[in-house]
Amino acid sequence: MVYIKVDKHKSIEKAISIFKRKVKDSGVLLELRERQEYTKPSAVNRKKRAQALARMRQRKVKKQTSWL
């Protein structure tokens, strides 16, 4: 749970922006979106494998162009 303590001298707008940043960093909204619908375990594994391949391709391209 994300809590923000607002002092007398702080503005509400600043507190709201801090709250939004903390919610985004904690990943609460991302988890909520993921839980809205069921994904099969095989689909999760497929997505993880695709992300890993994409990371490997990026590293390979970066390694090839690092001598420039």
pLDDT in tens, 2-59: 889 888 888 999 999 999 999 999 999 999 999 999 999 999 999 999 999 999 999 9
Residue 35: inside a domain: yes
What is the reported pTM? 0.56
Read off the pLDDT of each residue in 60-65 and give the average, rounded to a whole number: 84
Domain-embedded: residue 5: no
If one compares 43 and 1, the residue with the highest pLDDT of the two is 43
Q: Helix, strand, coil proportions of the chain in percent (round to 5)? A: 70, 0, 30
Buried b (16+ CB within 10 A) or exposed e, 43-60: eeeeeeeeeeeeeeeeee
Q: Does the residue 31 lie in any domain?
A: yes
Say how many domains are in the chain.
1
Residue whose token pair is 């985004």: 24
Residue-number span of the structural domain to which 29 is assigned? 12-64
CB neighbour list of residue 15: distance below 8 Å, 6 or more residues apart: 4, 6
